[in-house]
Amino acid sequence: MTAPIIEIQGLNAGYKDSPVLRDISLTVSAGEFTGILGPNGSGKTTLIRALSGVLPLTSGLVRIAGHDIRELSPKARAKHCATVAQKNPGLSGVRALSLVLMGRYPHVSFLGGYSDQDHRRAQEAMAETSSLHLQDRGSDTLSGGELQRVITAKALAQDTRLLLLDEAASNLDVARTLDLYELLRIRNASGLTILTVAHDLNLAALYCHRLVFLKNGSVAADGPTDEIFTSQTLSEIYETPLAVAAHPITGAPQAYLVPRA
Amino acid sequence: MAAAVPLSIYAALFFGSYPLPAEAIHQAIASMLKGQAESQELVIVRDIRLGRILLSFLTGAALAVSGGVFQGLLRNPLADPFTLGISSGAACGAALSLGLGWTLAGFSTLPLAALGGAFAAMALVLTMSRLAGDFSRESLVLGGIVVSTFLGAAIALIKALNEESVAAIVFWIMGSFQGRGFEHVGLMLPYMLVGGTVVLLLARELDILGLGAEQAAQVGVAVGRARIGLLVGAGMLTAAAVSVSGIIGFVGLVVPHLVRMLIGPDSRPLLLFSALGGGILLLWSDVLARTILSHGAELPVGVVTALFGGPFFCLIMARGRRG
């Protein structure tokens, strides 16, 4: 049994006058590859924001690698957990490499600058996301897909044990989406714990070992992909009939829309 | 660019209302370096010209660096101490201190009062802009105009009530280095050094804050602390400049833009080169201000900077609309 890297107990969080997450309890062990799914507005992004420490908890407890998230300094938190957000701005005139170097921030002392090692780690991360050739480009001149790879490199350069992604494939075409998930699979195999919000049910079922379904801010279903990705569960959660059949090549469960007529 | 600083300082010594031949100036410089006996030329070159040259250089440097910080922090290309109304706040604080004759244990409270005014104006403008939206360029500049106009009226009122103790109102509103020198360098330098050090130490955080507060926090920046540090540092730089020169507009707007075009947006080099560029720009603006009128009269240096800064402001605004 591996130690939990995320422990959530009775988590309530949200925005002024509108609580979003209600009494969520969830444990993620080191080395898991977990997908967060659910209908629009179910609280997926809010959960990522709460776990990354930028959304204050209303009540409950979140531990990252055993530390109460409210007691971790931003720097210490960023050493444990990197986040790839859904929307990413390119910064006017800022080179892609400079953007990736920002991921090294938690490892740099207050008075020091980015070291040669920081530069090397940033470039390695860019190579992993096939974006090294973009390093000298202005980040505001990149396409959506190019920027997404650069931002993913920034998160990898952070050298954390936990990676949170919020819909990281939303700007990517089919080939780039697979590239990203293949990269995540390889990184997961070498020990990185991954928690990713996904819109695409089938993509999540292909890559994630475990799925957590949120609905109306609560956990509606949670379990190993093979057990939980069933026609009945999906149809209930999405309130629409969905058929499930095995993938012809990998055998992973895949969902199919059923016309209502 | 670094070589341009001593060259500018040297060249600027040759300009002034009292005509001095080059020989006399070189002699004065030589006797300054050797510590020789006082002469009339020496007094003019050192106390009148050099002091004022250094003061204008430092003031320009402080304004340009604080402008660079405000632009980065508020992610707003039109931000600078003047457009945000922070210079007016500092001037109002300074005028109050002079008008009421405040002193603290014998020391001049002038820069402290300017600092208080700068922070008050900053808080006011940022709150107004936050209520109107999220620091959009229009709401910030509108807030700045309202605060500037209001505080300009307050300064006029203070001046009207204290005819003797406050210098000509045009000094505060348009900015000038007339009759100023080493004494004022000593007054502003401590605030400038502290403010400048703070913002340079936070340059990396300033870069990352460009990602937005949330993503900056996710890579480990203590966003609240970094923002406050940068605001306080930039406020100190503004107050240091305004307390010795009054309100000088556009230096803090123009210089960081030009430097960014030349060397890119990395904050630490951007701020350092903005300091040099702002210093040189204001130094020569002041040379122009004190020599352009033929009969020995002076133009407020703020008039000079506004004459070139106004059109530049329009240019940035038009470019931002397109992009």
pLDDT of residue B322: 45
Compare all CA atoms of chain B with the CA of A164 and give the residue at the minimum distance.
B218
Q: How many C-beta atoms lie closer than 10 Å to residue A100's C-beta?
A: 32
User: Positive or negative, the Cα torsion across B244, B247, B250, B256?
Assistant: positive
| Pairwise CB contact (< 8 Å): B212 & A79 | no
Mean pLDDT of B34-44: 79
| Pairwise CB contact (< 8 Å): A105 & B220 | yes
Reduced to 3 states (helix: H, G, I; strand: E, B; else coil), residue A45 is: helix
Minimal Cβ distance to B266: which of A92, A98, A105: A98
Residues A166-217: tens digit of each pLDDT:
988 887 889 999 999 999 999 999 999 999 999 899 999 999 999 999 999 9
pLDDT of residue A165: 96
Minimal Cβ distance to A106: which of B211, B220, B265: B220
Residues B130-187: tens digit of each pLDDT:
787 666 667 788 888 899 899 988 888 887 887 665 555 667 778 889 888 899 999 9
| Pairwise CB contact (< 8 Å): B265 & A94 | yes
> Do A218 and A95 share a structural domain?
no
Question: Is the residue at A75 inside a domain?
Answer: no
- Phi, psi of A37, deg, nearest 5: -120, 170
Q: Mean pLDDT for chain A? A: 93
Question: Is the residue at A73 inside a domain?
Answer: no
| Pairwise CB contact (< 8 Å): B218 & A110 | no
Alpha carbons B123 and A9: distance in angstroms, whole number: 39
> Do A31 and A14 share a structural domain?
yes
Q: Which two tokens stand for residue B252?
A: 């803090």
B220 contact A CB<8A: yes
pLDDT of residue B131: 81
Predicted confidence (pLDDT) at residue B323 exceeds the cutoff of 60: no
pLDDT of residue B272: 97
Mean pLDDT of A243-255: 96
Predicted confidence (pLDDT) at residue B126 exceeds the cutoff of 90: no
| Pairwise CB contact (< 8 Å): A83 & B218 | yes
> Do A128 and A145 share a structural domain?
yes
B209 contact A CB<8A: no
* Domain of A127, in residue numbers: 89-159
pLDDT of residue B166: 54
pLDDT class for A87, splitting at 50, 70, 90? confident
> Do A26 and A137 share a structural domain?
no
| Pairwise CB contact (< 8 Å): B217 & A74 | yes
> Do A174 and A138 share a structural domain?
no
Reduced to 3 states (helix: H, G, I; strand: E, B; else coil), residue B58 is: helix
Q: Mean pLDDT for chain B? A: 87
Q: Which of A15-19, A41-45, B190-194, B225-229 has the lowest mean pLDDT?
A: A15-19
| Pairwise CB contact (< 8 Å): B219 & A79 | no
Tell me which of B140 and A99 has the higher pLDDT.
A99
Q: Which of A100-104, B25-29, B202-206 has the lowest mean pLDDT?
A: B25-29
> A133 to chain B, minimum CA–CA distance in Å?
20
pLDDT of residue B170: 64
Q: Which of A83-87, B108-112, B264-268 has the lowest mean pLDDT?
A: B108-112
Q: What does DSSP assign to residue B300?
A: -
Predicted confidence (pLDDT) at residue A50 exceeds the cutoff of 60: yes
Question: Is the residue at A84 inside a domain?
Answer: no
> Do A171 and A48 share a structural domain?
yes
> Do A182 and A136 share a structural domain?
no
Please identify, among A159, A182, A213, the residue that sits at the C-terminal boundary of a domain. Answer: A159
The CA–CA distances, whole Å, from B292 to A63, A250, B176, B244 equal 68, 82, 14, 22
Question: Cβ contacts (< 8 Å) between A83 and chain B: which residues?
Answer: 215, 218
pLDDT of residue B103: 66
Residue type, A203: L
> Do A150 and A118 share a structural domain?
yes
Tell me which of B15 and B319 has the higher pLDDT.
B15
Alpha carbons A181 and B163: distance in angstroms, whole number: 74
Mean pLDDT of A52-71: 94
| Pairwise CB contact (< 8 Å): B207 & A98 | yes
Strand partners, A138: A95
Question: Cβ contacts (< 8 Å) between B217 and chain A: which residues?
Answer: 52-54, 74
| Pairwise CB contact (< 8 Å): B264 & A77 | no
pLDDT class for B99, splitting at 50, 70, 90? confident
Q: Which domains does chain B have, with CATH numbers?
A: 51-317 (1.10.3470.10)
- Split into its structural domains, chain A has a count of 2
Residues B247-297: tens digit of each pLDDT:
999 999 999 999 999 999 999 999 999 999 999 999 999 999 988 887 778
**Best of B219, B221, B258, B270 to disrupt the A interface by mutation (most A CBs within 10 Å)?**
B219
Question: Is the residue at A82 inside a domain?
Answer: no
> Do A253 and A124 share a structural domain?
no
Indicate whether this model's pTM tops 0.95. no
B218 contact A CB<8A: yes
Q: How many C-beta atoms lie closer than 10 Å to residue B160's C-beta?
A: 11
Alpha carbons B242 and B247: distance in angstroms, whole number: 6
> A170 to chain B, minimum CA–CA distance in Å?
18
Question: Is the residue at A74 inside a domain?
Answer: no
* Cβ proximity of A135 and A123 under 8 Å: yes
* Cβ proximity of A4 and A29 under 8 Å: yes
By DSSP bridging, strand B103-104 and strand B107-108 are: antiparallel
* Cβ proximity of A224 and A235 under 8 Å: no
Q: Which two tokens stand for residue B189?
A: 């330098």
> Do A8 and A93 share a structural domain?
no
B16 contact A CB<8A: no
Question: Is the residue at A185 inside a domain?
Answer: yes
pLDDT class for A106, splitting at 50, 70, 90? very high
Residues 232-291 of B with CB under 8 A from A: 260, 264-266
**Looking at residue A61, which CATH number applies to its domain?**
3.40.50.300
pLDDT of residue A15: 87
Question: Is the residue at A28 inside a domain?
Answer: yes
Please identify, among A159, A187, A211, the residue that sits at the C-terminal boundary of a domain. Answer: A159
Question: Is the residue at A79 inside a domain?
Answer: no
- Give the ipTM: 0.93
pLDDT of residue A198: 92
B223 contact A CB<8A: yes
Tell me which of B156 and A118 has the higher pLDDT.
A118
> Do A171 and A138 share a structural domain?
no
Mean pLDDT of A31-46: 95
Query: Which residue in B227, B278, B238 sits closest to B256, CA to CA?
Result: B278
Please identify, among A128, A159, A190, the residue that sits at the C-terminal boundary of a domain. Answer: A159
* Cβ proximity of A99 and A139 under 8 Å: yes
Q: HSE of A212 in the Cβ direction (CA atoms, 13 Å)?
A: 23
> Do A145 and A228 share a structural domain?
no
Predicted confidence (pLDDT) at residue A100 exceeds the cutoff of 50: yes
Q: How many C-beta atoms lie closer than 10 Å to residue B179's C-beta?
A: 11
